[in-house]
Amino acid sequence: MTMTAIILAGGQGTRMKSPLPKVLHPVAGKPMIIRTLEGCQQAGVQNLRLVVGHGQNLVKSVLDPIQEMLQVKIYVQDQQLGTADAVKAADLGSLQGDVLIMNGDHPLIKTADIKNFFASFQKLNLDLAVFTVEVSEKNDFGRIVRANGKLQSIVEVKEASAEVLKIKEINTGIYVVKAEVLQKLIPQVKNENAKKEFYLTDIITLARDKALKVDAILSENGDIAHGVNSQMELAAATAKVYASNCEKLLNNGVIILDPKTTYIEDTVIVGAGAVLYPGVFLRGKTAIGAFSVVEPNCFISDSVINDGVQIKAGSYIEKTIIHSQASVGPYARLRPDTTIGQGAHVGNFVEMKKVNFGAKSKAGHLTYLGDADIGEDVNIGCGTITCNYAADKKKYKTIIKDRVFVGSDTQLVAPVTVESDSIIASGTTVTKDVPAGALALSRTAQVNKEGYAKKFKKPEDGNK
Ligand code: UD1
Ligand code: CA
């Protein structure tokens, strides 16, 4: 049996009060529409159809790079005339098999939930099923009206009487329906209601009138109701995903001091015995090795941190590889395409970009290294700067080979190569290549003028 899913994402999402189309709002780093689509794909849905409308160009551009991978077909609903009209836009005529319909704002939906929807629909041998949950708080969901336990209709809040509003069972907006039933009923939906919209919910009464097998299936899992409609609900969904990611890692032996303030995206891997302090943010394709320690308020994205690495407080690390036993920070900034060698040390207020920093090398303080290859066992003194960006607006490379000692306050004007075992005296501006084993020195000779300070300073002034 073909499983199709139609995901409705054409609406404006007015309650989000945001210029971003609702379904593009991220939940723990991933737009909610992608979470919804992935949930369907992993459940084995072969035919995935997404209806877009409001903000369609932005939605398309976000999905474009992954559209093939997700195998999703995009349909445009020109005018947002209601949920039944949106379903019609998804090339209704070509549908086959069982069709799941759901909103694009269900970031917490799980693959298992989607499998369950199809399975219970098939088990009960229905023509149309709507999935419901019970909600006690005040809400805007459509109410499920039953008579003698049997589903009668779904009534939208705007059309509901005081009596109907008291009903706790609500429409999650998730349905499974046979393709031929949908093809027959959708054209019959009218827009004679408070919002002058074509309500998908009207197919319930239409199906009942035709003596089709219709039922409302009540689920215990309250999460499936919670589409995201406001920033509050988005924040709540985001918190749930972060909490569940921490929980998985805690269960695998990662030490997280305060899960409430530790933010880890789904794609991150952390080895057992690693320690994560409060305020740590791990994003994208990041992996943290066993027994590594990440101190408070570090931000790490798309980086590989090997075993036994220490990342000290306040460091910001992107697209960087750090080999084992290295230590970084506090307050280090490692920018894309940087590799830190085994046992190397990168200290406070050090910035690197596109650097290969060799094993056991050290850059302890206040340094900028960019577009540089730095060998093993190199010492980079405090205040060293690679001047990689030239007046011709091009970037040039600095090469420093093994065991070089770079004194403090050195500038290396690229392109320049410093051969192994050489020394650069502090305060030097290196503009020429330095041969192996040499001392490079470029300072103006110091002059001391005896007693000269008196001219400017009277002894009674002290240091004023
Ligand atoms: C809908 C249901 C309601 C249910 C609720 C669950 C209807 C009439 N009501 O209400 O019973 O409790 O979902 O969340 O269906 N959309 C389009 N094109 C449109 C209109 C909407 O693509 O022309 C999309 C929206 O982007 C959204 C979804 O359909 O993803 C639901 O639309 P919305 O107008 O938000 O319906 P609700 O008022 O939430
Ligand atoms: Ca100088």
CATH number at residue 371: 2.160.10.10
C-beta 286 within 6 A of ligand 1: no
Ligand 2 geometric centre to CA of 45 (Å): 65
Listed in sequence order, the residues at least 6 apart from 448 whose beta carbon sits closer than 8 Å to its beta carbon are none
Residue 378 near residue 358 (C-beta atoms within 8 A): yes
76 and 96 assigned to the same domain: yes
Asked whether residue 448 is assigned to any structural domain, the reply reads no
Range(s) of the domain holding residue 221: 3-225
209 and 95 assigned to the same domain: yes
| Residue of 15, 25, 59, 83 with the most ligand 1 atoms within 8 Å of its CB, for mutation | 83
192 and 278 assigned to the same domain: no
Residue 85 near residue 198 (C-beta atoms within 8 A): yes
209 and 238 assigned to the same domain: no
Q: How many domains does the chain have?
A: 2
Asked whether residue 460 is assigned to any structural domain, the reply reads no
| Residue of 12, 33, 37, 103 with the most ligand 1 atoms within 8 Å of its CB, for mutation | 103
Ligand 2 geometric centre to CA of 445 (Å): 12
Asked whether residue 194 is assigned to any structural domain, the reply reads yes
Residue bearing tokens 């190397």: 344
Ligand 1 geometric centre to CA of 171 (Å): 10
* Encoded tokens for 235: 């924040």
Asked whether residue 291 is assigned to any structural domain, the reply reads yes
Q: Give the distance, in angstroms, between the CA of residue 384 and the centroid of all CA atoms in the same chain.
A: 35
Dihedral, CA atoms, 5, 11, 12, 17, nearest 10 degrees? Answer: -60
| CATH label of the domain that carries residue 167 | 3.90.550.10
Instruction: Report which ligand 1 atom has the smallest distance to the Cα of 12.
Output: 26
**Mean pLDDT in consecutive groups of 10 residues from the start of the chain, 464 residues:** 92 92 96 94 94 96 92 95 97 96 92 93 97 92 95 96 97 96 98 94 97 94 80 95 98 98 98 98 98 98 98 98 98 98 98 98 98 98 96 96 98 98 98 98 93 81 68
421 and 315 assigned to the same domain: yes
Burial class (CB in 10 A: 0-12, 13-18, 19+), 380: buried
236 and 309 assigned to the same domain: yes
283 and 184 assigned to the same domain: no
Amino acid 464: pLDDT: 62
C-beta 117 within 6 A of ligand 1: no
Residue 197 near residue 82 (C-beta atoms within 8 A): yes
**Ligand 1, atom 1: nearest CA belongs to which residue?**
173
354 and 246 assigned to the same domain: yes
Asked whether residue 454 is assigned to any structural domain, the reply reads no
Residue 173 near residue 102 (C-beta atoms within 8 A): yes
At 254, give phi and psi (nearest 5°). Answer: -85, 140
* 376/361 Cα distance (integer angstroms): 5
Asked whether residue 185 is assigned to any structural domain, the reply reads yes
255 and 133 assigned to the same domain: no
Ligand 2 geometric centre to CA of 331 (Å): 25
Active site residue 365: yes
**Ligand 1, atom 6: nearest CA belongs to which residue?**
173
Q: Are strands 26-27 and 30-31 parallel, antiparallel or unpaired?
A: antiparallel
User: How many Å from the N-terminal Cα to the C-terminal Cα in the chain?
Assistant: 89
Domain boundary residue among 208, 225, 242?
Answer: 225
C-beta 118 within 6 A of ligand 1: no
Residue among 444, 437, 384 at smallest CA distance from 414:
384
271 and 147 assigned to the same domain: no
Residue bearing tokens 């910001």: 316
Domain boundary residue among 179, 198, 225?
Answer: 225
Amino acid 227: pLDDT: 82
Amino acid 463: pLDDT: 67
169 and 260 assigned to the same domain: no
**Distances in Å between the alpha carbon of 161 and those of 137, 145, 196, 228?**
17, 11, 18, 25
43 and 102 assigned to the same domain: yes
Q: Give the distance, in angstroms, between the CA of residue 134 and the centroid of all CA atoms in the same chain.
A: 31
Classify 253 in phi/psi space as left (phi over 0), alpha (psi -120 to 50) or beta: left
Asked whether residue 27 is assigned to any structural domain, the reply reads yes
Asked whether residue 183 is assigned to any structural domain, the reply reads yes
At 196, give phi and psi (nearest 5°). Answer: 55, 40
* 276/224 Cα distance (integer angstroms): 31
Q: Are strands 128-134 and 169-178 parallel, antiparallel or unpaired?
A: antiparallel
Amino acid 253: pLDDT: 98
* 313/331 Cα distance (integer angstroms): 6
